[in-house]
Structure 1
Amino acid sequence: MKNGRSLVDLAQELERQLESKKDLIVPSSLVRHTTDEAGDTRLVVEETGGPVQYGVTPLARRQLADKLKIPYAYFERMREEQPALLDRNVNTWLQNEGDRRMLRTLDGNVRAVLSERYRRLDNFDLAKSVLPILQGLPGVRFQSAELTDTKMYLKCITSRLKYEMAPGDVVQAGIVITNSEVGQGTLSVQPLIYRLVCSNGLIAPERALRKTHVGRALGGEDDAVTIYQDDTLRADDEAFFLKVRDVVQAAVSEVTFVQIAQKMQKTLNIPLKGDPVKMVEVLAQRYTLNDTERSGVLRHLISGGQLSGYGLVNAVTHYSQEVEDYDRATEFEALGGRLIDLSAQEWKGLAEAA
């Protein structure tokens, strides 16, 4: 499993962000887009005290283009080659829209352009709610935690639940909690399998319990900008976060763990009869792996010396530890979980690739 930051570092960054972020519900007509000669974009919002300029992150640019139905490749070409044309396009559509948008800002930058119905489930409040629950699990240890530009991750293992895949090959139960404040995924609680012999983590996405970020429309019906303070946000979400506790308990139950472990164990009996190179090529095409990722999975499959479904699952999850991007590394852990859920026919297509 890929290492992240310590819980102390995570808590400190969440505290810092709490002081620096601001959410606005803004009528599109009160937003103006500007681009300088270097291609840096800004959104100017007509707030109560006057116009306020915000930088725009790449993710927010993509979301803005999507909201205005401007193809992103064209948006970026205008930004780089014809910034004045980009501003005319964006501002024309903004002024002709009757919609209200949620702009989520951090450190003076717009980090997300979302619907006014976006349900704010913030990382600080989630961590405050679930960390005491996780710390109360028997034999718990926090294996990895991270805060990326798009998501927060909490991954922990409990030594209370163990299962022997083969003699000397023991896995433990765990849990991964993820959340995105910027529209890049639901709040998700997923079971995790941790293999002691190689520190691989496998996420079982089919057993995920999720909460979507969709709620009631926020703000009034007037044409003013509404700014939500952090105490208002926390009060609005407190009742929901109380419900997360039951979800956490279910994710690390013995029944759930044993079912997933047994499903993983069955892959020991799936022989890989085809050409390993061709087989990993099929895997890469099916799950959109780039050349570097494909080569890394193949290397771990060969070095592991176990040409079985189990060997392929562990090659995928082991490679995740080498992936620099934490979000992408977690996707490889989830890919391992998707593989153990393959049907016999799907495994045959991989195992007999020639």
Structure 2
Amino acid sequence: MQELTTRAVVVTPGPDGTGAARNAELRDLVKALTHQHARKADHVVSAGRMRAEGGNLLMTGHAPLLSAEGVTLTDQALRPTSVADEGIAEKLRIPLAYLRRMRAELPALYDANVNGWLEADPSRKLMLRTFTSGDGDGGVGVLRAVLSDSYRRIDNFDVLVSALEGIQQTGHEINITGCDLSDRRMVVRIESQSVRVMAPELLKGYRSPFNGQTGDELPIVSAGFVLANSEVGSGAYTLTPRIVVRVCRNGLTMAKDAYRAVHIGARMDEGLIRVSEDTDAKHLALIQAQTRDAVSTFLDREYVETKLRAIEREAGREVADPAKTIETISKKLRFSEAVQQSVLNHFIRGGQPTAGGILQAITATAQTIQDADAAYELEAQALAAMALV
């Protein structure tokens, strides 16, 4: 069962470079990204220079080693993350569940399958995103992702700095209300200090499940947006508008209006990847420009009022059988049993027997989920879930 918690959770990266942050402050995110940045190494490698051994992936002939006998090329062992498993499965067309079962239960069978498919096309090139090995890990690095050799890297630290510079250039006062970091993505939640809109219809009869305050007492929402980026192929760099309910801090994200920058570039030569300063500057200038556009569009009173009125038109529908309705939505959107039960509990505590009450229950549940990726994905589904009522 998925663990649910209302606590902010911050986990600093471990010695191998992996780690996570949930509801962290900006300084915690910067610390984690700085730690990771020092360990990153990306390579374009032909399949003929890769092999599986003991459930790990080896880059053969990777690094020169000087000894009394001369210089020899050594292999680099890499331990795949769950995201890297997905890349291996997709690139080699091995069912993901089967791949993971083999590595967990029969590593020799895992090695045989992966090696067989690598040998079938030895000239094929792939990008391996890695963290180098650290002290105490036996020289085994971390395989973060297996991607196309045309994957364009847009890294989290650079995105964060460029986006913050873009916001600063607008002069708009904002708060960063929470940061998440996982093996899959970085998420930064941004809220306007000045653009607030009255939402009495949306919040009529609603009660915060966290502090008991009612929406009738504080019928206000704030403008905001979510900055998200994946370094490992799990989605584009995006800026997504978000309306924040002040009474409970629920976030209503509107994916249809998101700005996106996909990670697709030119194919690269084999070897360690080094990107020129000129190429980096062009990508980061685009991120700054997109962020300025997002601030102008999303942190605008008229935009928020227009979106809010559309949400209110859907939110007023009554829910006659909450348990059945939430069960149906959960099946269609593939919520876990724990999430389904949490949504029902938050719906009851919210006291709003409408489609809007289900919207609030889903976004409230998203706040309490410890897994950053699960929380991000659940909040993003909330408006679609309300439309199913």
> Which residue of structure 1 aligns with residue 212 of structure 2?
none
- Contact preservation (8 Å) 1:47, 1:225: no
Q: What TM-score, normalized to structure 2?
A: 0.80
Which range moves more in the overlay, 170-179 or 55-64? 55-64
Structure 2 residue identity aligned to 1:327 = D
> Which residue of structure 1 aligns with residue 183 of structure 2?
149
Q: What TM-score, normalized to structure 1?
A: 0.87
Q: Provide Cα deviations, 1:41-60, integer angstroms capped at 9, x if missing partner.
A: 23233226222222221221
CA deviation after TM superposition for structure 1 residue 259, in Å: 1.9
CA deviation after TM superposition for structure 1 residue 236, in Å: 6.2
Percentage of matched positions with identical amino acids: 30
2-side partners of 1:19 and 1:292: how far apart? 38
> Which residue of structure 2 aligns with residue 7 of structure 1?
26
Q: Provide Cα deviations, 1:184-205, integer angstroms capped at 9, x if missing partner.
A: 1111100011111111111111
Q: Provide Cα deviations, 1:120-147, integer angstroms capped at 9, x if missing partner.
A: 1111110110113335553311111121
Q: Provide Cα deviations, 1:93-149, integer angstroms capped at 9, x if missing partner.
A: 212212100000024211000000111111111011011333555331111112111
- Contact preservation (8 Å) 1:193, 1:201: yes
2-side partners of 1:218 and 1:247: how far apart? 31
Structure 2 residue identity aligned to 1:213 = H
Q: Structure 2 residue aligned with 1:19, among 26, 29, 38?
A: 38
Q: Does 1:180 align with 2:214?
A: no
Q: Does 1:71 align with 2:95?
A: yes
Unaligned runs of 5+ in 2: 1-5, 9-22, 65-72, 133-140, 201-215
Q: Provide Cα deviations, 1:306-352, integer angstroms capped at 9, x if missing partner.
A: 11121111111111122111111122221223345x3xxx4xxx3xx
Q: How many residue pairs align between the two structures?
A: 334
Structure 1 residue identity aligned to 2:127 = M
Structure 2 residue identity aligned to 1:186 = A
> Which residue of structure 1 aligns with residue 336 of structure 2?
290
Q: Provide Cα deviations, 1:219-251, integer angstroms capped at 9, x if missing partner.
A: 2xxxx5233368687346334324323332223
Q: Provide Cα deviations, 1:275-309, integer angstroms capped at 9, x if missing partner.
A: 11111111111211111111111111111111112
Q: Does 1:266 align with 2:326?
A: no
User: Which SS does the other structure have where 2:289 is aligned?
Assistant: helix
Correspondence 1:273-352 to 2 at 5 A: 274-339=320-385, 342=387, 346=388, 350=389
Q: Does 1:101 align with 2:120?
A: no
RMSD of equivalent CA atoms: 2.2
User: Which SS does the other structure have where 2:273 is aligned?
Assistant: strand
- Contact preservation (8 Å) 2:329, 2:385: no
CA deviation after TM superposition for structure 1 residue 78, in Å: 2.6
2-side partners of 1:191 and 1:2: how far apart? 25
> Is the alpha carbon distance of 1:149 and 1:160 closer, same or farther for their aligned partners in structure 2, counting shifts above 3 Å?
same
- Contact preservation (8 Å) 2:225, 2:298: yes
Correspondence 1:60-139 to 2 at 5 A: 60-97=84-121, 98-107=123-132, 108-135=141-168, 137-139=171-173
Q: Provide Cα deviations, 1:143-200, integer angstroms capped at 9, x if missing partner.
A: 1112111111111111321111115311000010100000111111000111111111
- Structure with bigger helix share is 1
User: Which SS does the other structure have where 2:43 is aligned?
Assistant: strand
Unaligned runs of 5+ in 1: none
Structure 2 residue identity aligned to 1:198 = C
